[in-house]
Structure 1
């Protein structure tokens, strides 16, 4: 899955903000420009959406024109997948987990404790 580039992340953030409303490339472009994030051409947005679709992060609805796009999974699931991917790539999972836990806040540590003790 890997990391997202800046424009990929901006587009995914837009799609994640509208989970029940697939967006066209033009709507995404306009939202990015109106939100002050960046001003890009629709063709650039379409290229990035195509890449995101190949990465299985975006689905395209082809039943209407213009095509509409939505995120395959929500932001939390994507983040969890990234964390799992990085952990699986580690030669020393214990050290990686220890380093991660060493960087969380007290509130996050308490949340992890609660989550680990759930049935």
Structure 2
């Protein structure tokens, strides 16, 4: 079961790069290049992401095609917000996060914070 988050991340990255929804067969085919999986595994990952609300699905013949509900940047922001909600020492966590940023990311963060004033 340790592969689940890796596969979920791989599928999300794949879907964010696509122009439109993908069927489980298309997802499996693309996953096979880096993470060989059975069709049922690809289907399970898609269903799990759909149940989490990360994907929407569209009927395509007898199958469904899946696409992300939010963009990659919005998803990352939601994950960061969720992590911060779980931390008791938010200031420490934020400080450590900022320490690890590259100088260009730090400058971008400062620009964003300044624009909010």
Q: 1:10·1:37 contact (CA, 8 Å) conserved in 2? A: no
Match of residue 23 from structure 2: 24
Where 2:83 maps in the other structure, the secondary structure is helix
Q: Distance in 1 between matches of 2:45 and 2:63?
A: 16
Match of residue 87 from structure 1: 84
Query: Superposition pairs for residues 4-83 of structure 1, below 5 Å?
Result: 5-18=5-18, 20-33=19-32, 36-62=33-59, 64-83=61-80
Q: Distance in 2 between matches of 1:77 and 1:65?
A: 31
User: Deviation per CA, 1:37-56, whole angstroms, max 9, x where unpaired?
Assistant: 12211111111111111111
Q: Distance in 1 between matches of 2:61 and 2:73?
A: 29
Greater helix share, structure number: 2
- Regions of 4+ moved over 4 Å: none
User: Deviation per CA, 1:33-74, whole angstroms, max 9, x where unpaired?
Assistant: 2xx212211111111111111111111113643210001111
Q: TM-score, normalised to structure 2's length?
A: 0.89
- CA drift at 1:87: 0.8
Q: Distance in 2 between matches of 1:26 and 1:63?
A: 12
Is there any run of 5+ residues in structure 1 with no aligned partner, and where?
none
Where 1:62 maps in the other structure, the secondary structure is strand
Is there any run of 5+ residues in structure 2 with no aligned partner, and where?
none
Q: CA RMSD in A?
A: 1.4
